[in-house]
Structure 1
Amino acid sequence: MTVTTGTRVVISGGDVFDGTGAPPGPADVAIDGGRIVEVGSGLDGDELVDARGLTILPGLIDCHVHVMFDGIDLMAHLQQPFSYAFYTAIRSLARTLDCGITTVRDAGGADLGVKQAVANGLIEGPRMRTAISILGQTGGHTDGWQPSGVDASLFVPHPGRPSPIVDGPDEMRRKVRELVRAGADVIKICTSGGVISPRDDPRHAHFGPDELATCVAEATTAGIAVMAHAQGADGIKNAVRAGVRSVEHGIFLDDEGIEMMLDAGTYLVPTLAAPRAVIAAAAAGAALPDVVVDKAREVAEAHMESFGRAVAAGVPVAMGTDSGVGRHGDNLTELALMHEAGMKPEAVLAASTSSAASLLGIADEVGTVAAGKRADLVLVSGDPFDFGSLKTNIRAVYQDGRPVR
């Protein structure tokens, strides 16, 4: 890669996948002041980056990560000092950036301090949107109570991370307000049980209509959206009826739920890699309850099947991995799974760029290679649709016009 020095940077000679889903085509990209200022042919600049043989992608966006832990192992988690998770986040964020992911939505765990540390340049990583705490009912997905009396919650409450357990509309109203006060960019609520929570069933719906309505109303008043951990069909439909912005996981999504999501414009964030990560962790010796591993095995096939039907029906999809359940740095395996389940390669990359940006409400800033957008770019060799090799083919990552990899 040939570089000369200057102020206006032109990445020249490559192909551009602009993020809209259109096929890649030859173009140069001019950057100035951290922004893309021009996309076209034969552009001049003070600094030239030779991208011949490379494809220029928008910075990728992962809409569902948990940077405060890195892999599921209950015993290791229980023995980890409280503050250790913050140092884990530093490594996790760096590994995510290695994947060409320049923006993430942390779906629970990271507080305002982690987000500000990245924004202020204290640590390197993708820019962040955060949910902070994951709201669940007593006995639900975020309730760490165990028969022994031990609380095995993944995220211990602290001054910047409110307790996640909520019961009733009044508690819901107060909790959403606490999260807004704490700096949440989105509210995450569990409308079903889950896989890694041993005391519930992912098929069962959680929270009543009054609690869900209160959650969405309070978030809307604060100008932010609601994302719903929703795996069972009833929990998915309850979430859509309440007006959530995105359904996370959607494992047992049925035809009625698909139609409801289409009518409401609700996004699906599939996280197809998550159950496979649980199965792989157990095979590698992670200390996990048998019921958790059994649930992961039960849902993996249904997950792929329901996602394929949602894609065929035209449900809007935004890429999300649930990294944290799996290892950070393995995020791009999600793209291969989306393709395997029936999504066209161009659509997979669009779901990982422009569609993800639209879900997060930041499409005016990132998600496409276009004049005026932040210069978040990924330069890759080989076939950009060879998702199995995409990470190893990354040659450079730019964030706000600055090469960070």
Structure 2
Amino acid sequence: MTRTLFAGGLVFDGTGAEPSSADVLVEDGVIIEVGSGLDADDVVDCSGTTVLPGLIDSHVHVLFSGVNVLRMMQTPFSYPFYEALHNLQTTLDTGITNVRDASGADLGVAQALRDGLIAGPRLQISISMISQTGGHGDGWQPCGAVMPLLSTHPGRPSTIVDSVDEMRRVVRELIRAGADVIKVATSGGVLSPRDDPRHGHFRDAEIAVLVEEATAAGVFVMAHAQATDGIKVAIRNGIRSIEHGIYLDDEAIEMMLEAGTWLVPTLSAPRAVLIMADSGVPMPAAVISKARMVLESHDDSVRRAIEAGVKIAMGTDSGVGPHGNNLVELGLMAGLG
């Protein structure tokens, strides 16, 4: 057994206690004691630094490395899986030890991590986001071509659905494929070509059966929900977390408080789109326009949710922006309260 002592650092333990000077003893990769006067085979001097637990990023895309659609069209099918190796390591090096992949990673990526074949944070996978036709996950273009951000394959089924029965089948397919969490788009989005982030998607009956099937399998549901109506249909039917939450009104915030629903703001996401556009990444004018349009409402909604006491979890949408910049999100969140 290898024992390593991280000595003399200012320890922030995440419990709400004030940070204090202490030693952290690790044995075979597991923290076994925090205190003073501890002993170990190897000692790392942490004087002048802050020692804190690994952080959680609740919304990443480890198979995305930006959203340059022209580049993606010319990238071999298997290449993003190799990019994921780099993205996972970069995320871990940032201090993120747990992530929830919000579409992209499949069971093979998760199993490779579990088996120790690759390095990275602990990973929950949603595999692919459920969307209605013309919704946030539909890659149909005006020219008639379909250019999804992620191609289907035997471990990543098609997730465009338009009825209660189709919804039930696709949720079951995702669970069969190894999903730890189900993701659904209950509104339009910024990056999708043919929708509007202010418009709600799916009806109550469709979302109700989604949650019913996920619950039966012991799986939670996360909702890409930017529009007010899309947020409310998600909360009303028992979805556990709202991703983005750009157009929260007072009623939606009250519903979240009553239901105990989490908000994952991803404040970094629209900013990342604008940074890419400014750097010359080719991007449709509509996407750039939508990213600019949502910024003020997004910040206002998150600020009011924080003030009201809504439960907040950090999520970055990394993969839209660069992996490794995850902690920028904490600064943005702190700036809103």
TM-score range for the pair, normalised by the shorter chain length: over 0.9
Distance in 1 between residues matched to 2:192 and 2:8, nearest whole Å: 50
Q: CA deviation at 1:308?
A: 0.8
SS of the equivalent of 2:311 reads coil
1:33 to 4, 28, 31: 28
The answer to whether structure 1 residue 284 and structure 2 residue 279 are counterparts is yes
The answer to whether structure 1 residue 253 and structure 2 residue 248 are counterparts is yes
Larger RCO (CA within 8 A; separation ≥ 6): 1
- Specify the alignment match of 2:178 in structure 1: 183
- Specify the alignment match of 1:145 in structure 2: 140
Aligned residue-pair number: 337
- Specify the alignment match of 1:345 in structure 2: none
The answer to whether structure 1 residue 87 and structure 2 residue 82 are counterparts is yes
Following TM superposition, where does structure 1 have runs of at least 4 consecutive aligned residues deviating by more than 6 angstroms? none
Letter in 1 for 2:278: A
Q: TM-score, normalised by structure 2?
A: 0.97
Deviations along 1:141-162, whole A, 9 cap, x unmatched? 0011111111110011100001
Conserved 8 A contact 1:227-1:245: yes
SS of the equivalent of 1:135 reads coil
SS of the equivalent of 1:10 reads strand
Q: What are structure 1's unaligned runs of at least 5 residues?
A: 1-5, 343-405
Distance in 2 between residues matched to 1:313 and 1:22, nearest whole Å: 23
- Specify the alignment match of 1:129 in structure 2: 124
- Specify the alignment match of 2:231 in structure 1: 236
Distance in 1 between residues matched to 2:273 and 2:2, nearest whole Å: 47
- Specify the alignment match of 2:218 in structure 1: 223
Q: CA deviation at 1:286?
A: 1.3
Distance in 1 between residues matched to 2:167 and 2:297, nearest whole Å: 32
Distance in 2 between residues matched to 1:206 and 1:316, nearest whole Å: 24
- Specify the alignment match of 1:338 in structure 2: 333
Letter in 1 for 2:280: G
Q: CA deviation at 1:55?
A: 1.1
SS of the equivalent of 2:223 reads strand
Distance in 2 between residues matched to 1:126 and 1:9, nearest whole Å: 20
Conserved 8 A contact 1:74-1:286: no
Conserved 8 A contact 1:168-1:211: yes
Q: What are structure 2's unaligned runs of at least 5 residues?
A: none
- Specify the alignment match of 1:49 in structure 2: 44
Q: TM-score, normalised by structure 1?
A: 0.81
Letter in 2 for 1:117: A
Q: CA deviation at 1:22?
A: 2.9
Letter in 2 for 1:248: E
2:96 to 74, 98, 101: 101
Letter in 2 for 1:215: L
Q: CA deviation at 1:247?
A: 0.3
Letter in 1 for 2:210: C
SS of the equivalent of 2:312 reads coil
Letter in 1 for 2:263: L
- Specify the alignment match of 2:206 in structure 1: 211
Distance in 1 between residues matched to 2:90 and 2:40, nearest whole Å: 31
Conserved 8 A contact 1:64-1:321: yes
SS of the equivalent of 1:227 reads strand
Q: CA deviation at 1:127?
A: 1.5
Letter in 1 for 2:149: L
Q: CA deviation at 1:37?
A: 1.6
SS of the equivalent of 1:122 reads coil
Q: CA deviation at 1:27?
A: 1.8
Distance in 1 between residues matched to 2:257 and 2:126, nearest whole Å: 25
Q: CA deviation at 1:21?
A: 3.2
Distance in 2 between residues matched to 1:83 and 1:46, nearest whole Å: 43
SS of the equivalent of 1:76 reads helix
- Specify the alignment match of 1:167 in structure 2: 162
Letter in 1 for 2:35: G
Conserved 8 A contact 1:275-1:296: yes
The answer to whether structure 1 residue 329 and structure 2 residue 327 are counterparts is no
RMSD: 1.2
Structural mapping, 1:300-379, within 5 Å: 300-342=295-337
The answer to whether structure 1 residue 58 and structure 2 residue 53 are counterparts is yes
Letter in 2 for 1:198: P
Q: CA deviation at 1:47?
A: 2.7
Deviations along 1:303-330, whole A, 9 cap, x unmatched? 1111111111111111000011111111
Q: CA deviation at 1:45?
A: 2.6
Distance in 1 between residues matched to 2:17 and 2:268, nearest whole Å: 26
- Specify the alignment match of 1:196 in structure 2: 191
- Specify the alignment match of 2:5 in structure 1: 10
